[in-house]
Structure 1
Amino acid sequence: MRFLPAAFLLLATACVPLGTPITSTSPAAGGAARPPEYYADKTLRYQDYTYSPDVRSVQCYAATGQQNEVFQPPVVPLGQTQAITLEFDVLGQQSQRYTAKLIHCDVDWKPSVLTDLQFLNEINEFLITDYRVGVGGKVPYFHYRMRAPGVKLSGNYLLVVQAQGSVPLVSRRLVVYENRVQVALKPGIVVGGQERYTLQQLDFGIGYSGVDLVNPAVEVKVVLRQNFRWDNAKYNLRPTFVRDAERRLDYQYFGFENAFPGLSEYRFFDTRSVQAAGIGVQRVDPRTNPVTATLLPETSRAKLAYNQYQDANGQRVFESREFGNGAVNADYADVTFQLKAEQPAPGPVYVLGTLTDWQLKDEFKLAYDEATKLYTGHALLKQGYYNYSFAVGGGPSGVPNEVYFEGTHQETENQYDLLVYYRPPGTRADLLIGYQQVAVNSRP
């Protein structure tokens, strides 16, 4: 799925859950509202996470200098770490002093035992000096931007932005790789009955002629991802064949261990203009404070045939059609989501995508009205073009159930990548020694 081309004085400094009216929390209002539960715990998490309701529109990507570079995941070769860019907004009328640091992590995203000097050449505290004030909109904010520091080792890193007192503000996962093994990742054919119409299988092998592995079946660990997501990534995939003579590991499964639901192309809406309703938008009202935008009512696609169109694989891009430069000229809008459903889903329903960090956030939880047979909810979002899906939570696996409302098709276009990790004997770090991306059903 790829990008679709061309398709408040502040009333609240804290975002509230979807389905709840935005409440004034400015000093003039006489107090602050209780923040959503999601933001209540400031404990550092080793994942993509936002710790303050004032932080909005976080983007972390590998800067390529090309159009739509924000769609590139924060994955770079060793030596190019500084290409990884982090951008975010902080709502309010006063800029703040923020610093950032890197934490080296193992394959399971737990902090490693390495000291800072073992993976950095400089002091592990970086002052964010690149910030600008948002202009022209009703919602005041400051836009911050930084480049990740260079590192000496491949592997997993957590980039953490902190406010005064070392309180975490934003954390994002970065991946730095080396090409020391040969990774062969390709679309496969699902062997099964109905699954061949709904699943996408990825076959892969690893050639390790350039690495001296004593026990490769145990020493090598792989992670398989769909659309660069960590929430549904596949871990603990073991090789089915170890070909010592050829110095190759083969991964051939028959229980769908290496298969993902193809899902459907992502839903989308365009709020790049606050003067007219864009695609997927029912109406927009620029007179309100903040601007309000109501999306067209959506329906379930679970029983529909596959519908082909280009999307952005759940991503989003910020832009203002009136003023350009979405980083500082885009305003914020209170966006209302609508989903028609004849009966309630078997669990709570959420909006899901990069706009939610691929998490089931309280802000994006929808409320069901029996009388109108409609799920609704709203959130404060920056002007732009958005991809999203509807997901059901509460399942035993903990993975959001997108199939319930979105359906799943083998024909859907998706991006996949494989990460190959190795910890050399006697060392204390998981190195990322191989990486490859592949597109399934790519469009010309």
Structure 2
Amino acid sequence: MMLRNFYIFIFLLSFSFSANAQVEPLKEVAPPSFIKSIILSGSNDGDQFPVLKLGDPLRITFDDVNGDEVDYYYKIVHCNYDWTPSNLSKAQYMRGFDNQRIINYENSFNTLQLYSNYRLTIPNNFTTLLLTGNYMLSIYNDDDELMFSRKFIVYQNAVNVSAAVHRTRDLSTIDKDQLIQFEINSPNLFLRNPEREVKVAILQNYQWNRAIMNIKPQYTLGSKLMYRYNTETSFRGGNEFFNFDNKEIRGGNISIARIELRDVYHNFLHTNATRANEPYTFNPDVNGNFLINTIQGNDPSIEADYAKIHFSLNNYMKLDGSKVYVYGRFNNYALTEDNQLFYNAETDLYEAEILLKQGFYNYKYVVLTSKNELQHAKISGSYFQTENDYLIIVYFRKFGEVYDSIIGIGTTNSSVIKN
């Protein structure tokens, strides 16, 4: 009897430890230096943050500049609202199997930089997604080593979301911030306890690292959930992105100062200046995105060449041990040594050299302080007039369910700002 009670105690103790164990959210992993030009897209051309309606295709492409025709495999994990893995089995959110080899790839054609271009579409003969929600796609090599991972979402339209951008109500930041106010209308979906069942995420320019989350509805009005916060849903407006276009890799333009041919082409961009203390100037951009393109061939995926892009920043602000990075959608807004700028005493400039595929690119400079705080406005400045895209994602977990579904999305843009 005593032995039986001892085993029961051990079982309950182990169960208690497992129940209290903290499950860490999944994070996007930056690729190694030889993996380039990662693009996840949905049905809309140029949309590089895939917001997929359930059943729509997800397209993934990337290049391996080693050009060795390595075998790569994909895995997909369904996640909760906070990006922790959900308790669903793969059979519950997927028909078929993942961990399949990517069989569609081609080698580059008529380029100085050799590379292999890999292409994957989901759904395919092996994999079909069955549920809405957050998903993490991971790419592995044949040694089962993680190469990179990317987030995407799948939704269905069960509610309507309307949103608008306003000037912030905080007078101390009224010239810098943009306030998002919105409402969720659910005429055909009864929300019994919206404070517990409904969650939202608000993204600026589709950047998860700046998302506003855990915002509850302020009040209900019939079938509508109202979010009319004055400060809690505000973002720094930031500044417009810089851009360059090198689809003609051998010719200069307004953003490329000079070109050199070495092992590959080197494109030297005009030096950018610190804008934090300058007046706002409108500059059309694509809010951080990039588009692979070339005029030297018909298929940019294998005929666009790579060039070493030389970035330079003229900065006289004190950085006090902080680091400067150049980033955009082209590197998934990651902060790595590959995109860090280093001070060059000979030129008195901060400089970086990055191997990028031909095309049109947006980029911006950010600062990471010695306390590991990311400052987006330190060099670029922040202005309420800046044109930004906003995405509102609505999650729903009905009482008794074990996962967070996505029941609607809303979009708005700050080109029209209300007072």
Above 0.5 in TM-score?
yes
- Report deviation, 1:134: 0.7
What secondary structure does 1:217 align onto? helix
Question: Once superposed, which parts of structure 1, at least 4 consecutive aligned residues long, lie more than 4 Å away?
Answer: 395-398
- Bigger mean CA offset, 421-430 vs 69-78: 69-78
> Residue 342 of structure 1 contacts residue 373 of structure 1 at CA under 8 Å; is this kept in 2?
no
What secondary structure does 2:209 align onto? coil
**Matched residues in 1 for 2:254 and 2:83: separation?**
39
The answer to whether residue 142 in structure 2 is matched with residue 164 in structure 1 is yes
- Bigger mean CA offset, 410-419 vs 47-56: 47-56
The answer to whether residue 181 in structure 2 is matched with residue 203 in structure 1 is yes
The answer to whether residue 363 in structure 2 is matched with residue 388 in structure 1 is yes
Post-superposition CA distance 1:65-95 (Å, at most 9, x none) = xxxx123520011122x2x211100112321
Counterpart position of 2:306:
332
- Report deviation, 1:140: 0.9
**Matched residues in 2 for 1:184 and 1:432: separation?**
16
**Matched residues in 1 for 2:299 and 2:49: separation?**
21
> Residue 222 of structure 1 contacts residue 237 of structure 1 at CA under 8 Å; is this kept in 2?
yes
Aligned with 2:202 (options 197, 219, 224): 224
- Report deviation, 1:207: 2.3
The answer to whether residue 222 in structure 2 is matched with residue 258 in structure 1 is no
More strand per residue:
2
The answer to whether residue 55 in structure 2 is matched with residue 73 in structure 1 is no
**Matched residues in 2 for 1:343 and 1:414: separation?**
26
What secondary structure does 2:82 align onto? coil
**Matched residues in 2 for 1:152 and 1:234: separation?**
27
Counterpart position of 1:300:
274
Counterpart position of 2:224:
248
The answer to whether residue 158 in structure 2 is matched with residue 180 in structure 1 is yes
- Report deviation, 1:278: 2.9
What secondary structure does 1:218 align onto? helix
**Matched residues in 2 for 1:52 and 1:397: separation?**
22
- Report deviation, 1:191: 1.5
**Matched residues in 2 for 1:386 and 1:307: separation?**
19
Post-superposition CA distance 1:179-212 (Å, at most 9, x none) = 1122121122321325222111110122233223
What secondary structure does 1:71 align onto? coil
Aligned with 1:62 (options 42, 53, 59): 42
Counterpart position of 2:348:
373
The answer to whether residue 296 in structure 2 is matched with residue 322 in structure 1 is yes
> Residue 104 of structure 1 contacts residue 156 of structure 1 at CA under 8 Å; is this kept in 2?
yes
Aligned with 1:148 (options 96, 117, 122): 122
Aligned residues: 389
- Report deviation, 1:396: 5.8
**Matched residues in 2 for 1:121 and 1:312: separation?**
36
The amino acid that maps onto 2:46 is V
Among all aligned residue pairs of Structure 1 and Structure 2, give the percentage whose two residues are the same amino acid.
28
Post-superposition CA distance 1:31-72 (Å, at most 9, x none) = xxxxxxxxxxxxx983433332211010111133xxxx1235
The amino acid that maps onto 2:376 is E
**Matched residues in 1 for 2:243 and 2:167: separation?**
29
Aligned with 1:215 (options 163, 171, 193): 193
> Residue 48 of structure 2 contacts residue 289 of structure 2 at CA under 8 Å; is this kept in 1?
no
**Matched residues in 1 for 2:59 and 2:90: separation?**
21
> Residue 198 of structure 1 contacts residue 261 of structure 1 at CA under 8 Å; is this kept in 2?
yes
Counterpart position of 2:259:
284
**Matched residues in 2 for 1:59 and 1:47: separation?**
17
> Residue 217 of structure 1 contacts residue 242 of structure 1 at CA under 8 Å; is this kept in 2?
no
Post-superposition CA distance 1:118-142 (Å, at most 9, x none) = 0111122333121111111221100
Unaligned runs of 5+ in 2: 1-23
Question: RMSD value over aligned CA atoms?
Answer: 2.0
Aligned with 1:421 (options 385, 395, 403): 395
Counterpart position of 1:38:
none
**Matched residues in 2 for 1:345 and 1:270: separation?**
30
How does 1:116-131 map onto structure 2 within 5 Å? 116-131=90-105
What secondary structure does 1:355 align onto? helix
Relative to the length of structure 1, the TM-score reads 0.83
Inter-CA distance 108–91: structure 2 relative to 1 (3 Å threshold): same
The answer to whether residue 166 in structure 2 is matched with residue 191 in structure 1 is no
- Bigger mean CA offset, 220-229 vs 150-159: 150-159
> Residue 56 of structure 1 contacts residue 89 of structure 1 at CA under 8 Å; is this kept in 2?
yes
- Bigger mean CA offset, 270-279 vs 409-418: 270-279
**Matched residues in 1 for 2:28 and 2:245: separation?**
25
Inter-CA distance 145–155: structure 2 relative to 1 (3 Å threshold): same
**Matched residues in 2 for 1:146 and 1:437: separation?**
27
What secondary structure does 1:231 align onto? helix
- Report deviation, 1:98: 1.7
The amino acid that maps onto 1:391 is V
Counterpart position of 1:111:
85
What secondary structure does 2:95 align onto? coil
Unaligned runs of 5+ in 1: 1-43
